[in-house]
Amino acid sequence: MQMIEGNFTDADGRYVIVVGRFNQFVVDSLVEGALDTLVRHGVNEDNITVIRVPGAYEIPLAAQAVAERGEVDAIIALGAVIRGSTPHFDYVAGELAGGLNKVQLDTGLPCAFGVLTVDTIEQAIERAGTKAGNKGSDAALAAIEMVSILRQLGE
């Protein structure tokens, strides 16, 4: 039997964090978590780029531009989409998830999904470095793992 899984010991790739600035109070903690996780797993700070876009809706287009330019091993998408009293949430979150997945499938570049899609600000805060962990950190780990897996698969 052959088992292929990612490891976290040779995280020396080039990472781009694409972050939607909307709900910045929460999002800044996600960025902090992602940066901390990348660096503590051995990624050189010089190999990390942070791109700030207006909101989550803009993330896929920026991610696509990054992927097409090359010279990157993974993208980490961060943001916070918080439900309001109108259907706006569904459009933003839906287009974000579909668009980001399209980028990773079209280009073969791992795009980790670290965008909170929650009903309340409290739920967002819980997931941005308080009692439910830090989804920015989780997304960074997923990115490191996918880089490792794709390398083993010869990509």
Binding site for ligand INI (CB under 6 A): 20, 22-23, 54-58, 79-82, 84, 88-89, 92
Distance CA 67, CA 65 (A): 5
The least CB distance from residue 54 to ligand INI, in Å, is 4
Taking the least distance from each CB to ligand INI, the nearer of 34 and 43 is 34
The least CB distance from residue 142 to ligand INI, in Å, is 20
Taking the least distance from each CB to ligand INI, the nearer of 89 and 151 is 89
Distance CA 126, CA 27 (A): 12
The least CB distance from residue 101 to ligand INI, in Å, is 17
* Enzyme catalytic residues: 88
Chain residue at closest Cβ approach to ligand INI: 55
Q: What does the H/E/C string look like for 25-82? A: HHHHHHHHHHHHHHHHCCCCHHHEEEEEECCHHHHHHHHHHHHHHCCCCEEEEEEEEE
